[in-house]
Amino acid sequence: MAIRSRTPSSGGSQSMFKKRSTQSLSPTMASAASYLSAVSQADARARTARSPTPTPTATPALSFASTTSSEPTTDIDELDEDDEKFISPLSVPFRPPTSEQVFNTVHTEFGHCASEEFRLTSAHKPGAPIHGHVDKDPPYYILLSTYISYLVLICLGHMRDFLGKRFHPKAYRHLMPHDGYASLNSDFDSFYTRRLKVRMDECFAQPVTGVAGRTIVLLDRVSLDYNRTQVPTGNKTRALNISSYNYLGFAQARGGCADVVEEAIKRYGISTCGSRLEGGTSELHTVAEELVARFVGAEDALISSMGFATNSTIIPALVGKGCLVISDELNHSSIRFGVRQSGAHVRMFRHNDMRSLESLLREVISQGQPKTHRPWKKIMLIVEGLYSMEGTMVNLPAIMNLKESYKFYLFVDEAHSIGAIGPNGRGIADYFGIDPRSIDILMGTFTKSFGAAGGYIAGKKDVIDRLRVKGYSGTYAEAMSIPLLSQVIASMASIMGVTTPTVSSSNSSSTIAIRSHAANGNGHLTDDEYHHPGPVSSKILPSWMTLPPELSSGEEGRTRLRRLAFNSFYLHRGLDKLGFITYGHPASPIVPLILFNPGKMMMFHRMMKDREVPIVVVVVAYPATPLITTRVRFCVSASHTKEDIDCVLRACDEIGDIMDLKHGLAPADRWSIDEICDRAVELVSLPEA
């Protein structure tokens, strides 16, 4: 809902962006209080604004200068349900294409950006220092007020519970024992949800429709009963999407990959009916597994239909009683879930802290198993390539050094880094220039960079074969469905590039050649033309699959990788230069901006969404993060244009001033927003501090 009228520009689409920068949050909205009151007014307006006549909700003070019907406006009444492309500033590229530029993507899904200067290849420079995770501290008053806010919230919550149970016992019925049944969830366990999360429910589980690409269409909703329920208003809003895990922009309903998926559905149907070992294996599964193995540079790979379940069903097949799992303290819930199922002993080390890891290793190896002091059967270190809440990249070179002396097995969860990191998109090993075969287990998901769903495990052939038999997913879980398989194959092949068998890939940087698997019994991996990380031979791809030339040449894949790297660096450094506290590595497409005060979460979310160009963001707080570091998490995509990132930066700049969020860089070192937008290329190419 707009807090101001959505003023359409008078000068066509080009001036939209410029105009916004000057007129956005007007000086009268300088304080948070006035903003909030404006928001509530806008809400009230929106509730009544379901009248059939498309009356603009503009206040008379602001001119409404629309003259032609083709003007891009975002009046909610114009968001017609049947209209596929909503007319919104987001539907029109910032720079109109010239006659020689042909874009094969839909701008709302994958932004048009022809400017070659907004590209970057990111790789670790050998020998460059790797910084661990640094907690940047805010001023003390911020810390204090954050703790006080939680204190107030908790006290209020308990007071409401206390009074509510006495005066409204009906509303608390499900929290109290009744009819001889214990309560389904105790009021203590659900306290956080009922008393803290509910307050900002509008930030979570927002229903959407359409493609989760560069933009996303929100199904607007309001709550009329203090967030107990959310009622859809029936309106839709197209917003800039800087929240979905769509790193390479493969979430597309049009284009080469979607065509392949359509063809696959026609040929194979939807489901493969059953588990992998019991009649649910399609030939596409074997193709996808071969392709994944080549993509990550491992001997063999297996795929599973759900990313979360990949960890939770595979880890128990790798470690068990008498084994030790060393886990980073910020590892994803699926890893913890899997480790708990395995029955192995677990120890944690401080996030990405190599010294803490080494001292832990020395302790556990010398002490052996608790009480008995027997040596551990195996020690497996589980780390993530890119941490989903912090944006930190694992210090892989240091871990490889430790691995040599301490002989543990290494499991790298590349859920977020595969496809998104490294000059060839092959993940964390590619970024650091480390041989992927020296990592014992590479795990990743297809949800993020490949626009599909599901996960994979890659490693040595005998290990993977064992997991096929002993992992639960092979026997019990449904196999990955056809549309997902074909999307994975098509998107992965287009990142790698495809060679026809006659043309040998002579110019690819050959590091490790895939050995011939013909002798290994399975007999389906026969070509040894593949050089990691190079293009893949079309022989292993399904013969019916045809990718358009820009995809099969790998040209578009490379562009996507370079656009993603540019956008990641740009947003990360831009926010830093504006004075915000951010976490993580600049090459990471995950950019967390730390808010601290829990009360700022919903404000930030709303102010971003209520802008002229609405932006949707993810806000996270305790328990997903430490209590104090409530944050906004941006997920940059290759589908964003430089102008989209400008737009996000501008929005953050304004909101940051209103909400007092700039506690990072000293004011003297900061850049102004215009300076950042103008000198983006320079900013991105700055050497690492």
Partner 1 sequence: MDTASSTIQPVIAYIAYTLSTLERGFYKLPGSGVIERYVRSSHQNDPGRTFLELVLIVFVIRTLLQSRTRADKDGQHFIEFTPKEIDELVEEWTPEPLASPLDERDLSDLAAVPIIAGSNGPRPKLVNTGKSAYNLASLNFSGLAGNEHIKQRAIETLRQYGVGSCGPPGFYGTVDVHMDLERDIADFLGTEAAILYAQGFATISSVIPSFCKRGDIIVADRGVTLSIQKGIEISRSTVRWFDHNDLQSLEEVLMSVEKERKKKRGPLTRRFIVTEGIFERDGAMVDLPKLIELKEKYKYRLVLDETFSFGTVGRTGRGLTELYNVSASKIDMLVGSVAIGLCAAGGFCAGSQIVVDHQRINGPAFVFSASMPPLLAVSGSEGINILRSSPSILDTLQQNVQAARSILDRVESITIPSHPASPIIHIHLRTPTSTSLAVPLVKPGSHKPSNPLSPLPRDRPRFDIDIEEKILQDIVEEALAQGVLITKAKRPRGMEISEARPSIRLAMTSALTRKETEKAVGIVKAAIVKVLARRR
How many chain residues are in contact with partner 1, going by CB under 8 A? 135
Distances in Å between the Cα of 538 and the Cα atoms of 281, 283, 516, 626, 648 are 22, 16, 17, 48, 40
Nearer to partner 1, 155 or 469 (CB): 469
**Which range of residues in 59-67, 124-132, 337-345, 578-586 is near partner 1 by CB under 8 A?**
337-345
Nearer to partner 1, 57 or 630 (CB): 630
Q: Which of residues 463-492 bind partner 1 (CB under 8 A)?
A: 463, 465-478, 481, 483-484, 487
Q: Which two tokens stand for residue 200?
A: 């900002």
Q: How far apart are CA 662 and CA 575, in angstroms?
A: 9
Q: Which of residues 516-575 bind partner 1 (CB under 8 A)?
A: 521-522
Q: Which of residues 380-419 bind partner 1 (CB under 8 A)?
A: 380, 405-409
Q: Which two tokens stand for residue 145?
A: 């007020």
**Which range of residues in 277-285, 293-301, 393-401, 419-427 is near partner 1 by CB under 8 A?**
277-285
Q: Which of residues 155-184 bind partner 1 (CB under 8 A)?
A: 174, 177, 179-184
**Which range of residues in 295-303, 310-318, 552-560, 599-607 is near partner 1 by CB under 8 A?**
310-318
Cβ at position 144, least distance to partner 1 in Å: 17
Nearer to partner 1, 124 or 285 (CB): 285
Nearer to partner 1, 123 or 222 (CB): 222
Angle between helices 555-578 and 482-496 (to 10 degrees): 90
Nearer to partner 1, 458 or 658 (CB): 458
Is residue 449 within 8 Å of 244, Cβ to Cβ? no
Is residue 357 within 8 Å of 349, Cβ to Cβ? yes
Decide: is 79 part of the binding site for partner 1 (CB under 8 A).
Answer: no
Beta strand ranges found along 299-439 (DSSP E): 300-304, 324-328, 345-349, 379-384, 409-413
SS3 state at 445: strand
Nearer to partner 1, 216 or 458 (CB): 216
User: According to CB under 8 A, which one of 340, 662, 663, 670 is a site residue for partner 1?
Assistant: 340
Cβ at position 551, least distance to partner 1 in Å: 15
Is residue 650 within 8 Å of 567, Cβ to Cβ? no
User: According to CB under 8 A, which one of 34, 227, 333, 438 is a site residue for partner 1?
Assistant: 333
Q: Which two tokens stand for residue 414?
A: 């590349």
Is residue 619 within 8 Å of 593, Cβ to Cβ? no
Report the candidate in 459, 455, 422 with the shortest Cα–Cα distance to residue 437: 459
Q: How far apart are CA 410 and CA 121, in angstroms?
A: 27
Q: Which of residues 202-261 bind partner 1 (CB under 8 A)?
A: 204-213, 216, 219, 241, 243-246, 250-254, 257-258, 261
Cβ at position 531, least distance to partner 1 in Å: 26
Nearer to partner 1, 243 or 395 (CB): 243
Quick one: how far is CA 135 from the chain centroid? 21
Nearer to partner 1, 5 or 105 (CB): 105
Specify whether the backbone of 297 is left (phi greater than 0), alpha (psi in -120 to 50) or beta: left
Q: Which of residues 105-124 bind partner 1 (CB under 8 A)?
A: 109
Q: Which of residues 354-383 bind partner 1 (CB under 8 A)?
A: 361-363, 365-367, 370-371, 373, 375-380
User: According to CB under 8 A, which one of 152, 270, 503, 627 is a site residue for partner 1?
Assistant: 270
Tell the residue number behind the tokens 């549309």, with chain if given: 483
Decide: is 290 part of the binding site for partner 1 (CB under 8 A).
Answer: no
Q: Which of residues 420-449 bind partner 1 (CB under 8 A)?
A: 440-441, 445-448
Tell the residue number behind the tokens 């398989």, with chain if given: 485
Q: What is the 3-state secondary structure (H, E, C) of 636-683?
A: CCCCCCHHHHHHHHHHHHHHHHHHCCCCCCCHHHCCCHHHHHHCHHHH
Q: How far apart are CA 23 and CA 141, in angstroms?
A: 32
**Which range of residues in 21-29, 63-71, 159-167, 274-282 is near partner 1 by CB under 8 A?**
274-282
Q: How far apart are CA 333 and CA 326, in angstroms?
A: 15
